[in-house]
Amino acid sequence: MYQQIINYFERVAALNETEKDLLKELFVHKSYKRKELLLHEGEICSKFCFILKGCMRMYMVDEKGTTHILQFAAENWIIVDALSFRERTASNLSIDTLEASEILYITPENLKLLYEKAPIFNYIIRELLEKHLTAIQRRLLQYMSSTGEERYLAFQKTYAQFANRLPQTQIAAYLGITPEHLSKIRKDITKLRHFIS
């Protein structure tokens, strides 16, 4: 199980055996059932999560009860409320599982220890967080400047490896459209593809 996260981190920088052992010591394994909360709005995020297996979402529910999904994450992705985790403040977001899931997580205290004992992790985690934040910024910019159809096509490209695992209601909430609008977009795209071929 730890080899998966080692391989992931080594895409950024090679690790020696001491660094690998430290990673195994400080990251904790945990399993979750489907629809289980890892973080509830109002709590402080205490887990920087690497997903070994499963699918999760990070989201908020507005005053009207509408769910807004900020991120989906599946195998070999990270998920964390970076603001709450870093600043130790109450989160405006929730994180839950869409499937039975397994993660490796590290607490803020252990992350600090990891940085102190093996500075290479400071570089690796920073690179991963920059990639994570860049993806979220790209998504927000796209959300503000594109149509529902354009957002759906971008979603299919970005989340191709697990888009079929997600219910249409979840995809619609991510795209900021109704499930009915998503259904119409999908039908229109299917018709267009049949017409072209």
Domain ranges of the chain: 1-134, 146-196
The pLDDT of residue 1 is 86
The pLDDT of residue 36 is 98
58 closest CA partner among 32, 30, 81, 85: 81
Contact status, residue 139 vs residue 176, Cβ threshold 8 Å? no
The pLDDT of residue 171 is 93
Q: Say whether domain 1-134 belongs to CATH 2.60.120.10.
A: yes
Encoded tokens for 149:
């159809």
Give per-10-residue mean pLDDT for the chain (197 aa).
Answer: 95 97 98 98 97 97 93 94 96 98 98 97 93 86 91 87 86 93 90 71
- Tokens 């990251």 correspond to what residue? 27
148 closest CA partner among 117, 108, 114, 178: 178
- In this structure, is the dihedral angle defined by the CA atoms of residues 177, 178, 184 and 186, taken in order, positive or negative? positive
- Tokens 């072209």 correspond to what residue? 196
Q: How far apart are CA 43 and CA 122, in angstroms?
A: 25
The pLDDT of residue 197 is 62
Encoded tokens for 167:
């219910």
The pLDDT of residue 180 is 95
The pLDDT of residue 143 is 86
Q: Which amino acid is at 131?
A: K
The pLDDT of residue 164 is 83
DSSP-derived 3-state class of residue 70: strand
The pLDDT of residue 100 is 98
The pLDDT of residue 142 is 87
